[in-house]
Structure 1
């Protein structure tokens, strides 16, 4: 189980980023499913849940998926099914259970660069890009190869 000394509910990305940089032991909370498996103490837990980052939107020439979007949404979203068939459903449906997939977020999984991720290979195959706060837009492959991000 993980623990933290302080809880910070961010009201903007700028605020969350500023709080994150204050201490190396501060952490951004995603769904926290994988954090719960460890035994680490953190200084400040930063919650992004008020920032409207849970979305799957069709843009002019791409589909945008927010960092707080959960795996279950990817698995069941009609827009993703229309464009990509069953690829998300097939990749994600066997991960533990629906309750777990409803908790696991895209941003936490991608940012953590989990080697065991069932989502990352799908995103790589689709030529996905990552938009980082103050870091610009990178191909997912470039992001995964960066050691200092």
Structure 2
């Protein structure tokens, strides 16, 4: 007799949901890291522009104004990237909570399957023992 978990399809669905939640969390986390790299790169560009701006001794007014515009543009882009970073951080937190929930659900179903299998095995052992006891009684009664 083979064990068959009666809710195996539900467990399969829960495991699939868990896997999807892991993938969504991973892709969101990856986007967060990419955005952090973009911000770091933009900060390096901004530092270089500030270095050029600080080297005013040999610059014309036009070059200074262009550098100021570039600094403003970079600051605006950094602000936008920081806003995106904040949004992605919230999304990462949400996906993480979903992942935790899916992990708990899957664990609960797996525990239920394990307990069901243990109960099945105990029942199988009991029936086997009953059959062996009956065989022993039959042998004993035939000898006497």
The TM-score range, normalised by the shorter chain, is under 0.3
Please state which structure has a larger fraction of its residues in helix.
2
Higher relative contact order (CA 8 A, sep 6+): 2
Please state which structure has a larger fraction of its residues in strand.
1
Could you state the TM-score of these two structures normalised by the residue count of structure 1? 0.16
